[in-house]
């Protein structure tokens, strides 16, 4: 029993340390985010590398589905924590975000040609949450998340990688970024994966009220 507890502590410690190593925060975050009130969450730029043979159109449709699933999962995560007054900013309703993008002929396929500043002005927000998703499975459909050491050595435990970033709407500067490998321990679907990874990074999330309090104490 003691061995299991020590192993659990060791694994959690490793996860927390790994999460911190994969987090970047700009030195100018406080300065550029001082007046931030609302952020928009964009559909994630997704690349699928699947074993099955799919047509180009089918693959694009699935990539869009996965990118929207991450957008929705992030909105759900932020909404729940916002209700508990955990954040110092609000998040634009993703339905409104996607509607405004569609009205301006900005699609999943061409959104990357627009700058952060252009998108922020169009969406009337102070900053943009966006990211990249590389997958070799359809995570939004749900996957078996039982983990074994055999899967690890066979290379079947890894499903891809995700990167989440926040950019300032006015300057277009990258303010914060978090990258993480996706594997069988990440969760059984997109919502689980986002929930777990953001919990690991919660004390490092720049708009977290507790983090801001700690930073202010250090400055004083």
Q: Where do the structural domains in the chain lie, given as residue ranges?
A: 2-219
Residue with tokens 């500067």: 173
Sign of the Cα torsion 80, 81, 85, 89 reads negative
pLDDT at 148 (0 to 100): 45
Question: Of the given ranges (58-62, 81-85, 93-97), which has the lowest mean pLDDT?
Answer: 81-85
Give 118-149 pLDDT, tens digit per residue.
Answer: 999 999 999 999 999 998 888 887 765 554 44
pLDDT at 17 over 80: no
pLDDT at 144 (0 to 100): 56
Task: Work out the number of other CB atoms within 10 angstroms of the CB of residue 191.
Answer: 19
Torsion of the alpha carbons at 111, 205, 87 and 214, rounded to the nearest 10:
-150
Tell me the C-alpha to C-alpha distance, in Å, between residue 47 and each of 50, 131, 156: 10, 11, 18
Binned at pLDDT 50, 70 and 90, residue 62 comes out as very high
Q: What is the 3-state secondary structure (H, E, C) of the chain?
A: CHHHHHHHHHHHHHHHHHHHHCEEECCCHHHHHCCCCEEEECCCEEEECCCCCCCHHHHHHHHHHHHHHHHHHHHHHHHHHHHCCCECCEECCHHHHHHHHHHCCCCCCCHHHCCHHHHHHHHCCCEEEEEEEEECCCHHHCCCCCCCHHHHHHCCCEEEEEEEEEEECCCCCEEEEEEEEEECCCCCCHHHHHHHHHHHHHHHCCCEHHHHHHHHHHHC
For the chain, percent of residues with pLDDT exceeding 90: 52
Q: Kindly state the tokens that stand for 178.
A: 């978090």
Binned at pLDDT 50, 70 and 90, residue 71 comes out as very high
Per the CATH hierarchy, to which homologous superfamily does domain 2-219 belong?
Answer: ABC-type transport auxiliary lipoprotein component (3.40.50.10610)
Give 160-212 pLDDT, tens digit per residue.
Answer: 899 999 999 999 999 999 999 988 777 788 888 888 888 887 778 888 877 66
Task: Work out the number of other CB atoms within 10 angstroms of the CB of residue 4.
Answer: 8
Task: Work out the number of other CB atoms within 10 angstroms of the CB of residue 115.
Answer: 12
pLDDT at 220 (0 to 100): 52
């Amino acid at each position: 029993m003691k061995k299991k507890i020590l192993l659990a502590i060791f694994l959690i410690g490793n996860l927390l340390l790994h999460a911190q190593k994969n987090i970047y925060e700009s030195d100018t975050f406080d300065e550029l985010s001082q007046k931030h009130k609302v952020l928009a969450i964009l559909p994630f730029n997704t690349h699928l590398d699947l074993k099955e043979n799919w047509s180009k159109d089918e693959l694009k449709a699935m990539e869009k589905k996965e990118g929207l699933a991450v957008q929705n999962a992030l909105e759900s995560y932020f909404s729940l924590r916002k209700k508990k007054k955990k954040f110092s900013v609000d998040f634009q309703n993703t339905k409104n975000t996607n509607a405004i993008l569609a009205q301006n002929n900005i699609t999943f396929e061409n959104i990357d040609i627009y700058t952060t500043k252009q998108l922020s002005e169009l969406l009337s927000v102070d900053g943009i949450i966006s990211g990249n998703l590389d997958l070799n499975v359809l995570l939004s459909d749900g996957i078996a998340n039982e983990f074994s050491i055999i899967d690890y050595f066979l290379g079947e435990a890894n499903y891809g990688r995700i990167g989440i970033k926040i950019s300032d709407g006015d300057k277009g500067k990258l303010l914060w970024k978090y990258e993480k490998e996706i594997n069988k321990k990440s969760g059984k679907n997109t919502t689980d994966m986002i929930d777990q990874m953001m919990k690991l990074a919660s004390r490092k999330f720049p708009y977290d009220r507790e983090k801001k309090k700690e930073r202010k104490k250090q400055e004083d």
